[in-house]
Structure 1
Amino acid sequence: MKPTKPGRGRPRQTEITEGQSRALDELSAAIDRNGIAPTMTELGEQLGITAASAHQLILQLERKGYVRRQPRKARSLRVIRRPSQSIGSMKSVPLIGVVKAGPAMLAEENRLGEVMVASGLVGRGQCFALEISGDSMKDADMRNGDVVIVRRQLIAENGEIIVAMIDDEATVKRLETDDGVVRLMPENRKYKPIEVQPDSDFRVLGKVIGVSRKSES
């Protein structure tokens, strides 16, 4: 049998590594959250690696046909296909309640069921899922009936979309901090920001890391 010449007669390699899978999941989640692709610095921070390493992962995914970008256009990355998911690459996350994405309210925090998400998105953190009810976050592409995947954490950065408790009520909003003032910002002009008062019982429950469309299952 004649040896195969480099670059000829070989099928395109499409299998991805765990690191590439995590990068693909985080890229997809960031686009869902923000409506735009992250910078390599932002992607690297989410993955716990350098911007250069994140760039290499994206180049590898681009060569394998999973992502595409427009030349000379910043933040133009798009996920164009996903690898077929196996049971081993998925993880169950508890669905624990319904969040009003309008007036802040949380249904009983009991376990309603489970949702399956890519293990690369969840990573090693503790996560839960909540169903959105309302349209105050629609401009962040979080619609009524969607399920948000939330990583449990007690602190969050300015500009991140979080699940927060205010006086025993919960809401999904974008966190805004300015000179000691904390506001929870809707992504719909019909709604007003919620300014957290100094005497309020306010705490962060977690950061939204992904969105599952109502039509997806």
Structure 2
Amino acid sequence: MSLTPRQQQVLNHLRQQIDATGLPPTIHELMEAFGWASPNAAAKHLDALIGAGAIEMAANKARTIQLVGTRKRPDTLELPLVGRVAAGEPILSEGLVERIVAVDRWMFRPKPDFLLRVEGDSMIDDGVLDGDLVAGKATPDAEHGQTVIARVGEGITIKRLYRRGRVLRLLPRNPAHVPIDPDPTEDFAIEGVYCGLLRRP
């Protein structure tokens, strides 16, 4: 693998960022780091590194950059961090993959399919705090008492499910918040069940 000095600088920066944060930089972060005025300059250097076999990435998605030779181990999962989840009032879910997060496979039961970032404090009595990354198993079904990730209208929220007969409520775990009673006329669906969480120190 033969790189120009500038390409090597970019590769070194990618490695430092991934080692420090666990995440590759975005295109705009690369532009800021190297003083590039256009995203095309960043894309050109990334394309050169791909061509040299130094990195791999999904098309036009810098957050998916992976250094060649540092693939995930068999005991890891790569989970997409998608949209947001409110622990409080539902907020709009963007439905976009922000980045891929590698986690140890044994950390969660059941095996999760995605991560969502918590906003709010309505689940603090269950130890779910603002800023946590909640792991969810994608499923439309859940039992009474399970913590679920649900779509209410155009928002996504995490709550404790109350289901008795035809009565369905989404219960907060903070007395400062009130339950959510889904309106039969609005869009409602269980998107997944809670598997655990990640919290940065």
Same fold at TM > 0.5: yes
Given candidates 89, 95, 110, the residue that maps to 2:81 is: 95
Looking at structure 2, the residues matched to 138 and 205 of structure 1 have their Cα atoms a distance apart, in angstroms, of: 21
How do 1:1-217 and structure 2 match up within 5 A? 87-121=73-107, 127-215=113-201
Q: Give me the identity figure in percent.
A: 32
Cα 1:174/1:134, change in 2 over 3 Å = same
Stretches of structure 1 that go unaligned for 5 or more consecutive residues are 1-85
User: Are the counterparts in 1 of residues 108 and 196 from structure 2 also a CA contact under 8 Å?
Assistant: no
TM-score normalised by L of structure 1: 0.56
Looking at structure 2, the residues matched to 146 and 135 of structure 1 have their Cα atoms a distance apart, in angstroms, of: 10
User: Are the counterparts in 1 of residues 144 and 161 from structure 2 also a CA contact under 8 Å?
Assistant: yes
Cα 1:150/1:159, change in 2 over 3 Å = same
1:87 positional shift: 2.9
Letter in 2 for 1:162: V
TM-score normalised by L of structure 2: 0.60
Looking at structure 2, the residues matched to 185 and 123 of structure 1 have their Cα atoms a distance apart, in angstroms, of: 22
CA distances 1:83-122 after superposition (whole Å, capped 9, x unpaired): xxx9321111000112121111133111101222222456
Cα 1:182/1:119, change in 2 over 3 Å = same
User: Are the counterparts in 1 of residues 149 and 190 from structure 2 also a CA contact under 8 Å?
Assistant: yes
Looking at structure 1, the residues matched to 86 and 153 of structure 2 have their Cα atoms a distance apart, in angstroms, of: 15
Looking at structure 1, the residues matched to 163 and 116 of structure 2 have their Cα atoms a distance apart, in angstroms, of: 24
Which deviates the most, 130-139 or 195-204? Answer: 195-204
Stretches of structure 2 that go unaligned for 5 or more consecutive residues are 1-71
The Cα RMSD (Å) is: 1.9
What is the DSSP-based 3-state SS (H/G/I as helix, E as strand, rest coil) of the residue aligned with 1:88? coil
What is the DSSP-based 3-state SS (H/G/I as helix, E as strand, rest coil) of the residue aligned with 1:87? coil
User: Are the counterparts in 1 of residues 134 and 194 from structure 2 also a CA contact under 8 Å?
Assistant: yes
May I ask how many residue pairs the two structures share in their alignment?
Answer: 130
1:141 positional shift: 0.4
